[in-house]
Amino acid sequence: DDDVVEDEEGVVVVYPEYGLEVRNPLSETPKEIYSNIYYYQRFSAFRMDTQGFFAAARHIRDRLIKQWNETFLHFHKLDPKQTYYLSMEYVQGAALLNALGNLNLLPRYVYPLLRFHLTITNFDQLDKYGELGNENGGLGRLASCFLDSMATLNLPAWGYGLRYRSGLFKQRVTEQGLEEIGEDWVDKFSPWEVARHDVVFPVRFYGAVDGSRKWVGGEVLQALAYDVPIPGYKTKNTISLRLWEARARAQDFNLSQFNDGQHESAAQLHSRARLICAVLCPGDATEKGKLLRLKQQYFLCSASLQDIIVRFKERRSGKGPWQWSEFPCKVAVQLNGTHPSLAIPELMRLLMDDEGLGWDEAWDVTTRTFAYTNHNVLPEALDKWPQPLMSNLLPRHMEIIRGIDDRFLAMINATRPDLHHKLAAMLILDDHDPHNPVVRMANLCVLSSHTVNGVSRMQSEILKAELFANYVCIWPTKFQNKTNGITPRRWLRFLNPGLSYVITKWLKTDKWITNLELLSGLRNFADNADLQQEWQFARMSCKKRLARYIYCETGVYTDAYCLFDVQVKQIHECKRQLLNILGVIHRYKILKEMSAYQRKHATPRFVMMGGKLCPTDTHAKQIVKLVNDVGAVVNNDPDVNGHLKVVFVPNYNVSLARKVIPASELSQHITTAGMEVSGTSNIKFALNGCLIIGTYDGANVEIREEIGEENFFVFGARADQVPRLRKERENGMFKPDPRFEEAKQLIRSGAFGNYDYTPLLDSLEGNSGDVFLLGHDFSTYLDAQARVDDAYMDPKRWVKMSILSTAACSNFSSDRTVAQYAKEIWNIQQCRLP
Ligand code: T68
């Protein structure tokens, strides 16, 4: 009954469990609704039905395909300039709920499904297609948010990616720590993709460059397109995500060898082709691993560029004579990070070798076509390929890259002799280590793109001041900032229907779903007791739902009245989950020392962590083990029962995010300053009214500015202090907080089991240890946590802060971000289906 709201127009059933909001469902009377909902809730909550999912998905897919064809034909007819977004990763998440929501069809599907005892959110386990990114979110999830916004803004734009068969692994918590098990993405039939047997391109590897500078020989595979429809919100525009799959050609199957019984070697090329899309992010510690990743990247670039050129020509045909110089007036290509940067030499190659353009003409077209987004400021994390590997796999591209470098060098020598001493760092080819000469892909992107952008204001400043500083004096206008955003459809409207309902009610419009700036209107009511009550109510039902889920998954029971304190993101040293757990250990120690009376007045906490990690990252694995070990002690200690619970929840992904984000009250974004270029999960939490404890890093800085410093629990060193602090430590001048030492000592003493955490703890010791400055930031972290505890004790203050948090996100819609890209980088206009 909590979820049924009546207003002057009738009854609305807000059903967070099922991700829906139904107005006057089937015009039943409120009484009937109550009894039906009760019935459905009892009998359908945990049922998942494959047939039901496929029936609903196929039905909606047919509708999407119609709109999709119309959109394609419309673009084809009007021939506007179009953007192509190249990304090695997408994290699409469940598509059915999103499609139904975008097409405004949720009530029409959800209620009838309930009648079959089926719920859409339970389909998540089947609707897995398109979790093609590394589920740490980041760059891949950003790409998916952008697709949603491109469609919603009616922009002529497409995404290109690879059709991986499996991605990162499923996690299982074991006695020993964490275990990974493989997960299939697309081997099962997916209702969302359409195989395009008519869209096939050859992609060559190896071989040699002949006397006429043509690339010949080697092995040729085929790229086959699979199209996935991406619907916009309340528009008919439906755009494409085109994913490539690698195949060998039929003629490469050696029938006579096969008939001789040499089955494996007869199908050798076919097996090699299968490897290309086998997994996302194959390990690249070995030469073979590196080769496979380079193959993947080139495969995406070559197939996409060939496809783009074919479409450009098709749209030109029948319209009289045309020039290649018009290509950048019709095509914008955005490189999502450096992974797709081989698209640059590939376009040069296609233009020069296949279309017969000269270098200068091809270079002019290329540099007016590409723009590059940087997602990483650490030089060591930028893509670098060994030159011998590149020369062997892609000999013609290596020649072209050398050509770009030579011409850049000549240009600097002729026009900017003052930069001569910086040239070595600016060139693409880095020969300074004769044993390991490399190709620096970020430099290739900067030299060849008309625009380079960062994804938060702070990172964009670092790019200009440090990483790309040398180039700024040559091309001062090339560098821009495009602060990241998230789609309010998936991350608020469909994720959190209860809260969305309250927002719409108070803003008296649901236009915020496409114009997030309207959310700032909530500031006017932040003190209103009625809104505060409804807000609390909506959030509390999400907390109860998460508590139920945690109980079913981990056996840990938590009271929904605790402060839900969450850190879900990739487990990595720089994200500092260790700082979090050391803070929990400190809290546990203090609680143990308190009297029962004192404990009663302490803020009760439920601490949850989750996230994927790289299976070879032993540091990250030990952190997960430590979280579980601490949980095993704390969660079973009657002294702190009701005051502190700690869990690691495995398999954090987009569908689990749906349960976690609306229920979280405090979210931790605590990287060492300068490490997180933006972060997007901080925006997702803040948008859903969750407060943030965080460092001066990435988008935290901009969120804090919007929400006001009194509503953001900031702590820790600033990015510009980090190098000095590391130096101080090296010189033995750092004195750690005794509480930090105590927490480590408790682990060493075996208070949380006998597992040997020495390597983990030792990484925090010594003059050259603790590079991520946990020791330095620990005291201010505890201070910030104490401010959190105080604020939570005052429920009115907390709920006001929560409302202000949502209101402060008005600038963080990916619609705003994508509109800025469209205007300031791509120069494309809306093209809406009538
Ligand atoms: C992420 N970067 C950032 N990089 O870490 C995150 N890079 O702060 C930001 O919000 C997000 O991008 C979106 O802008 C990545 O995801 C990579 O995945 C990556 C992988 C290999 C090499 C470089």
Antiparallel, parallel or unpaired: β 384-386 and 215-216: unpaired
Per-residue pLDDT, 186:
53
User: In b/e form, how buried is each residue of 573-593, taking b as 16+ CB within 10 angstroms?
Assistant: bebbbbbbbbbbbbbbeebee
With residues binned 3-state (H G I as helix, E B as strand, rest as coil), the percentages for the chain, rounded to 5, are 55, 15, 30
Q: How far apart are CA 645 and CA 550, in angstroms?
A: 11
pLDDT band for position 183 (50/70/90)? low
Query: Which has the minimum average pLDDT: 3-12, 20-29, 199-208, 563-572?
Result: 20-29
The pTM (predicted TM-score) of the whole model is: 0.93
Average pLDDT rounded to a whole number, residues 385-390: 97
What local confidence, expressed as pLDDT, does residue 59 receive?
Answer: 87
What pLDDT was estimated at residue 600? 92
Same topology between domain 79-93+128-482 and domain 490-508+515-812: yes
Rounded Cα distance, 659 and 568, in Å: 12
Q: What is the mean pLDDT of residues 669-696?
A: 96
Query: Does residue 37 or residue 293 have the better pLDDT?
Result: 293
Distance, in Å, from the CA atom of 133 to the CA atom of 141, rounded to the nearest integer, reads: 7
Structurally, what CATH architecture does the domain formed by 79-93+128-482 represent? 3-Layer(aba) Sandwich (3.40)
Cα of 686 from ligand 1 centre, angstroms: 20
Q: Which of 159, 174, 71, 273 is nearest to 621 (CA)?
A: 174
Locate the ligand 1 atom nearest the alpha carbon of residue 373 and give its number. 14
Cα 477 to averaged position of ligand 1 atoms, centre (Å): 24
Q: Which residue has the tokens 């082709």?
A: 273
Topology of the domain covering 490-508+515-812:
Rossmann fold (3.40.50)
Question: What is the residue with the minimal CA distance to atom 10 of ligand 1?
Answer: 679
Distance CA 484, CA 683 (A): 9
Lowest mean pLDDT among 123-132, 336-345, 350-359: 123-132
Burial of 473 (0-12, 13-18, 19+ CB in 10 A): exposed
For ligand 1, mutation pick of 375, 441, 576 (most atoms within 8 Å of CB): 375
Asked if 514 contacts 152 with a C-beta cutoff of 8 angstroms, the reply is yes
Instruction: Give the distance (Å) from ligand 1 centre to CA of residue 375.
Output: 5
* DSSP result, 739-774: HHHHHHHHHHTTTT-S---HHHHHTT-STT--TT-H
Q: Out of 142, 376, 680, 685, give the residue to mutate to test ligand 1, the one with the largest number of ligand atoms within 8 Å of its CB.
A: 376
Mutate to test the pocket of ligand 1, among 89, 134, 139 (most ligand atoms within 8 A of CB): 139
* Mean pLDDT of all residues in 326-346: 98
Contact 819, 153 (CB under 8 A): yes
| 677 CA to centre of ligand 1 in angstroms | 8
Q: How confident is the model at residue 189 (pLDDT cuts 50, 70, 90)?
A: low
Report which protein residue has its CA nearest ligand 1's atom 11: 138
Helix axes 359-369, 395-415, angle to 10 degrees: 90
Q: Is pLDDT above 50 for 439?
A: yes
Predicted pLDDT at 20: 47
What number is the ipTM of this complex?
0.97
The Å distance, Cα 376 to ligand 1 centre, comes to: 6
Which atom of ligand 1 is nearest the CA belonging to 679? 10
Ligand 1 center to 336 CA (angstroms): 9
- pLDDT classification of 136: cutoffs 50, 70, 90: low
What average pLDDT does the chain have?
Answer: 90
Q: Which atom of ligand 1 is nearest to the CA of 459?
A: 8
The whole-number pLDDT of residue 10 equals 52
- Mean of pLDDT values over 807-813: 97
The tens digit of pLDDT for each residue in 70-116 reads: 999 999 999 999 999 999 999 888 889 899 989 988 878 877 777 67
pLDDT at 132: 53
Q: Under DSSP, is residue 17 helix (H, G, I), strand (E, B) or coil?
A: helix
pLDDT score at 17: 47
Gap from CA of 521 to ligand 1 centroid (Å): 32
Region of poorest pLDDT, from 15-24, 267-276, 686-695? 15-24
Residue 48: per-residue pLDDT: 54
Distance 382 CA to ligand 1 centre (A): 10
- Digit-coded pLDDT (tens) for 719-751: 999 999 999 999 988 999 999 999 999 999 999
Q: What is the mean pLDDT of residues 664-686?
A: 96
pLDDT tens sequence across 482-536? 999 999 999 999 889 889 999 999 999 999 999 999 999 999 999 999 999 999 9
Quote the pLDDT of residue 800: 98
Q: How far is the CA of 678 from the centre of ligand 1 (A)?
A: 9
Atom of ligand 1 nearest to the CA of 698: 8
Question: CA 29, 30, 33: angle at the middle one, nearest 5?
Answer: 90
Binning pLDDT at 50, 70 and 90, where does residue 778 land? very high
Q: How far, in Å, from the CA of 139 to the mean position of ligand 1?
A: 5
Q: Token digits for 212? A: 């006429």
Average pLDDT rounded to a whole number, residues 700-717: 97
Q: Which residues line ligand 1 (CB under 6 A)?
A: 138-139, 142, 337, 375-376, 381, 383, 455, 484, 676-680, 698
- Per-residue pLDDT band for 32 (boundaries 50, 70, 90) equals very low
Contacts 24+ apart (CB under 8 A), 584-589: 584/630, 584/634, 584/644, 584/646, 585/630, 585/743, 585/746, 585/747, 585/752, 586/739, 586/742, 586/743, 586/782, 587/644, 587/785, 588/630, 588/633, 588/634, 588/637, 588/640, 588/644, 589/742, 589/743, 589/746
pLDDT-above-70 percentage for the chain: 91
pLDDT bracket for residue 28 (50, 70, 90): very low
Binned at pLDDT 50, 70 and 90, residue 322 comes out as: very high
Where do the structural domains in the chain lie, given as residue ranges? 79-93+128-482, 490-508+515-812
Residue 25's pLDDT is 45
**Residue from 146, 677, 682 to probe ligand 1 pocket by mutation (most atoms less than 8 Å from CB):** 677
